[in-house]
Every structure is written in structure tokens, then in C-alpha cells.
Amino acid sequence: MSPASASSPRLRALVLGSGGGGGVPQWNCGCRVCRLAWSGDERVKPRTQSSLAVSVDGANWLLLNASIDMRQQILATPALQPKGDGRHSPIAAVLLTNTDVDHAAGLLSLRERQPFTIWGTQAILDTIGANRIFDVVGRAIVPRHAVKLGEAFEPLPGLTLEVFPVPGKVPLWLEENEVKTDQIGEGTVGVAVEAGGRTLLYAPGCARVTDDLKMRIAAAHALFFDGTLFADDEMIVNGLGDKTGRRMGHMPLSGPGGTLEELAACAPARRILIHINNSNPILIEGSPEEARVKAAGWDIAFDGMEVVP
Ligand code: MLT
Ligand code: MN
Ligand code: ZN
């Protein structure tokens, strides 16, 4: 690291997990992408489930979501491993963007009486608060801070965040008969991370692009966006499930109203797809679908990717 970068705040993001729910390969899946991954084919990188780590000093890190693959991600990431003698962790804070299993269950891996802080909207904190298994992460040691939509807060010195509503739905494990799949509220949010005048936007789940989201994206230097499915019906067509992407609260990349079309004009120079489901053919290097998203200006996140916005 040069002296200049050591002294001035410099926003850095590490992709801990670039896969969607289930990861790549998924434990019970033999779809085209998973088959290549199971066989060790170099065209498909294995991916853990959705999470990003951000820091300005490289010593203290904020996790954007607590992936169910947390332990594996820490093992793969020296920056997140304990330094010095005794108990220690560079993980100083965790922000949740929703309460899906892939994004929240990793809190259970952070349960060994280690101080850090948890941040989320009141609705998100209420959901984990109503589920007593999360009390294993003791509130006296790990306080939970509610944040309001559109209000700036500083979970770590020099790192300013703002959460904003993104159309989405209740987590799968709380679904009842009627599910509104593009609800605007506190249940699904995106987050803007700002440090030293640089802004990164993270929205791993998005059912629909709103005007507010377009404005925020236009002002950001880097965007990590929902890359769950390539085609809305790919789970159905491949015999993997009976839901469309939109039914799962994720807009597809292709097709009318898809991400490639919706964000063609307003995405920043650095735009990266994350939370990519194992059914998505962009995960196969050299595939026509990968070529299409790259030609549209998108990068495809991989575990261990580092981004300096
Ligand atoms: C999703 O993003 O749709 C969820 O991860 C689904 C799930 O919990 O498996
Ligand atoms: Mn998910
Ligand atoms: Zn699969």
C-alpha cells in the first residue's frame, strides 16, 4: 500500500459471496451450471452465498449481509481473520438488507461473545428479534441499531451509510398465502456506502427498478446489483422449480423490463452483478449469456473480487 493510500480514507469492497440462495454448486442441484461446478470444470467458479465486506482502513470491516456461508468466507479472507493474541475480529459491524436465510443466517456464526454491532431497519430487526435463535448473539455484547430509510448513519468511523427501499417481498420462510412480490417498505432495502467522496451502491435483491433507484444509481461510482436470474422463467424451463424470478422478488436480467434494459442508460461505469443463482447461465464462462451481459457493460462478481469504487 502506498503512503498516500494508507493515510487517506479509501473505500474498499471485498465480495465475500457472489452466489444467490443455495450458492454454486447448490447441495442438491444437477442443473447445467451446477454439473459443471461439481465436476470442477474451470468455466464455472464455485460461489458462496451473497455478502460484501467494506472498509476504509482495512482493519475494521462492515459486512453487508451475514451470509449463511460466513465461516467459509472468513476462512477464505485473511482481512477478516483475528489479529494478535486472544479473541479478536476485524468484523466490527453487520448491516442486513433483508432477512432471507442467505443474508441473515450467518449471524449465528458470529456468536462467540465477540463485540460488534448489527444495523438494519426496524422491520428487519423486528423479524430477527422475533426469532429467538438469534438471541444466541447476545444483545448486551452485540447491540442492534435501527436505522431509518433515507437517513445517514456511521456504523464505522469514516463510513457513511444510507438505506433506501427497494421493491421486494417477505423472506421465503415467512411467506403466507398472498405474497406481494414488489412491496416498497422496510423489509427489503438497498444501501449506499460513502467514504472519501466515493459511493458504492449494493442492492442484491430487487423486484423492479424505481425512479428513486435510478437517481441513486446515477449518483454512485460503483453498483452491485441483483443478478439472480438471466431469464424470468429459467427455473421453470430447466425443471428446477415452479417460480418465476419475479415471483421470487428478483427481476431478471433479460427480457422486457429486465435489468439490462431498465438500467442501460443510468448505470455507473462500474456495474457488477451479484447474488447470482446457480441456474443463471452467465456463470458459465464463454457462454452467450455471459457475453451479452459483458457487452452491456456489466461485470460478474466472483468470490474474492476486490472493488475500489
Ligand atoms: C432469495 O433471494 O430469493 C432467497 O435467498 C430465497 C431463499 O431463501 O432461498
Ligand atoms: Mn437470496
Ligand atoms: Zn443448479
In a domain, 307, yes or no: no
In a domain, 309, yes or no: no
Q: Tens-digit pLDDT profile for the chain (309 aa)?
A: 444 444 567 999 999 999 999 999 999 999 999 999 999 999 999 999 999 999 999 999 999 999 999 999 999 999 999 998 999 999 999 999 999 999 999 999 999 999 999 999 999 999 999 999 999 999 999 999 999 999 999 999 999 999 999 999 999 999 999 999 999 999 999 999 999 999 999 999 999 999 999 999 999 999 999 999 999 999 999 999 999 999 999 999 999 999 999 999 988 889 999 999 999 999 999 999 999 999 999 999 999 999 999
**What's the domain range around 160?**
9-302
| Cβ-based burial of 150 (10 A; exposed 0-12, middle 13-18, buried ≥19) | exposed
Which positions ≥6 away from 243 have C-beta within 8 Å? 235, 236
In a domain, 158, yes or no: yes
Which positions ≥6 away from 41 have C-beta within 8 Å? none
pLDDT of residue 7: 54
For ligand 3, an ion, list residues with CB under 5 A.
Answer: 26, 29, 31, 34, 278
Residues at CB less than 6 angstroms from ligand 1: 20-21, 100-102, 172, 205, 248-249
Ligand 1, closest atom to CA 228? 2
For residues 72 and 102, the answer to whether their CB atoms sit within 8 Å is no
Nearest CA to ligand 1 atom 9: 21
In a domain, 108, yes or no: yes
In a domain, 196, yes or no: yes
Ligand 1, closest atom to CA 101? 8
pLDDT of residue 3: 47
In a domain, 260, yes or no: yes
DSSP 216-258: HHHT-SEEEEE---SSTTHHHHTTS-S--TGGGT---SSSTT-
In a domain, 245, yes or no: yes
CA of residue 159 to ligand 2 center, whole Å: 25
CATH for 15? 3.60.15.10
In a domain, 274, yes or no: yes
Ligand nearest to the CA of 27: 3
How many domains does one find in the chain?
A: 1
